[in-house]
Amino acid sequence: MGYRTSTAHLDSILRELSKEYSIYAPKTFVGEGTYSDTDRVRYGTVESLGEINFEVKSEFSYKEILTPISETLFYFTEDEVKVADGPKKGAIVFVRSCDLHAVKRMDDIYLKNGFEDFYYKRIREKTKFILMGCSQSFNSCFCVDMGTNKSDHYDAYIKVDGDSALIDGEFEALITRLEEVEEVTVKPDFVTENKTRVNIPENLSLDIMDSTMWNEYNERCIACGRCNFVCPTCTCFTMQDVFYEGSDRKQAGERRRVWASCQVNGYTDMAGGHSFRGDKGQRMRFKVLHKVYDYKKRFGYNMCVGCGRCDDICPEYISFSACINKLSDGMKEIEG
């Protein structure tokens, strides 16, 4: 069951909804690409379908909406703390199937795994996800092998088809506003095959850390962390206490958390001077095994959703999917 309406009508509904929700979607930021005269497609607020880039995979994922890159937790003085305000509006987020699966990973880390995260929860509770289908796979995608190519747990599905839009789902604020609609059967576009395939060996174990397969990354990786920052499932952060200078309230400031990367220097540094995984190859191992091995041991399913963003972004052309496909030989090397 679903509906067809005009994009003009849907746009008017989105405008209505934007009073209550900030609407986020992949958007082209002209001239903001890394290199001169290039654009960057990342998440930004939109008010109409026309602003959404449905064609290109966003360079960064939706996750910056649920966990802002830099998020103030509270303000403090010498003896008081005040919790920072959260966003006033709820959020409507346009995501592809892989990213919708990634939300489950974020939920499991932030809402389970120890205490519930106050900051994540207050945004997450007010977030609705609109699925944007994938009419075709991008080159680096491997969602099919990761089992994330299809999803049915969306609040709504929207597909723009010329001047009309196809809608499905149960997002009340959206569905109840639909007028002049035609009832049609709407089946979301899902890809069923990818050019990129991955094989995670069944016998994979931590012993693979002793394989020589990681050595090449010691030289190749520049430890920039882009792979982590674009990843829709990476959740690590670091705390920062900022002390306001020049204010008469001498001990006033704020505590923030900012995204952290297990590939960037300093990730494991302790106050006493000890650190771990100095080799970039071992950092790669740490990341790869988290995504396709040890997260699964803990939560029962793999962390990686196969979106391929890390492959797309790496300035050194290190392919995560290619690395997964080296694990099998790595295990052979270890097991002899």
Partner 1 sequence: MKNEYIPFLSEIKEVIQHTAIEYTFRMAFEGDVKPGQFFEVSLPKYGEAPISVSGIGEGTIDLTIRKVGKVTGEIFEKYVGDKLFLRGPYGNGFELDNYRGHEVVVVAGGTGLSPVRGIIEHFAKHKEECKGLTLITGFKTPDDVLFKDDLKAWAEAAKITVTVDQAPEGYEGPTGLVTKYIPDLEIKDMENVQVVVVGPPIMMKFTVAEFLKRGIKEKNIWISQERKMCCGIGKCGHCKIGDTYICLEGPVFNYTQGKLLRD
Partner 2 sequence: MDINTKKLKKNAFRVTKVRGITASRVRVPGGLINAEYLGKIQEIAEKYGNGQVHITIRQGFEILGIKFEDMDKVNEMLQPIIEGLGINQEVPGKGYTSAGTRNVSACIGNKVCPFANYNTTDFAKKIEKAIFPNDLHFKIALTGCQNDCIKARMQDFGIIGMTMPQYDATRCVSCGACVKGCKGRSVGCLSAKNYRVERQADKCVGCGVCINACPTGAWTRSQKKYYRLAIMGRTGKTNPRLAEDFIVWADEESIIKIILNTYKYVTEYIDRSAPGGKEHIGYIVDRTGFMEFKKWALEGVELPEEAVVKNNVYWSGIQYK
Instruction: Decide: 207 and 26 in contact? Cβ < 8 Å.
Output: no
Residue 242 interacting with partner 2 (CB under 8 A) = yes
Q: Please tell me what DSSP assigns to residue 268.
A: T
Residues 37-96 that bind partner 2 (CB under 8 A): 37, 40, 42, 59-60, 68-70
The phi, psi pair for 291, rounded to 5°, reads -75, -35
For residues 103 to 132, the per-residue mask of contacts with partner 1, x marking binding by CB under 8 A and - elsewhere, is: ------xx--xxxxxxx-xx----------
3-state secondary structure of 240: strand
* Through-space distance between the first and last CA atoms of the chain, rounded to whole angstroms: 55
Residue 271 interacting with partner 1 (CB under 8 A) = yes
Q: Which is nearer to partner 2, 45 or 240 (CB)?
A: 240
Q: Which is nearer to partner 2, 129 or 229 (CB)?
A: 229
For residues 167 to 206, the per-residue mask of contacts with partner 1, x marking binding by CB under 8 A and - elsewhere, is: ---------------------------------------x
Q: Any bridge partners for residue 160, and if so which? A: 165
For residues 235 to 254, the per-residue mask of contacts with partner 1, x marking binding by CB under 8 A and - elsewhere, is: xxxxxxx-x-------x-x-
The phi, psi pair for 196, rounded to 5°, reads -90, 125
The label of the residue with tokens 């052309």 reads 317
Cβ contacts of residue 132 below 8 Å, gap of 6+? 25, 52, 54, 94, 95, 96, 157, 158, 159
Q: In one letter, which amino acid is 32?
A: E
Q: How far is the CB of 201 from partner 1 (least distance, A)?
A: 17
Strand-strand pairing, 156-161 and 164-169: antiparallel
Q: Which is nearer to partner 1, 130 or 284 (CB)?
A: 284
The beta-carbon contacts of 113-119 under 8 Å, at least 24 apart in sequence, are: 118/83, 119/67, 119/71, 119/73, 119/86
Nearest to 132 by CA among 175, 77, 188: 188
Contact pick of 225, 232, 306, 330 for partner 2 (by CB under 8 A): 225
Positions touching partner 2 (CB under 8 A) are: 29, 31-32, 34-37, 40, 42, 59-60, 68-70, 224-226, 229, 238, 240, 242-243, 245, 256, 258-261, 264-265
Residues that bind partner 1 (CB under 8 A): 73-74, 76-79, 81, 83, 109-110, 113-119, 121-122, 206, 209, 235-241, 243, 251, 253, 255, 257, 260, 262, 267-277, 282, 286, 289-290, 294-295, 297-298
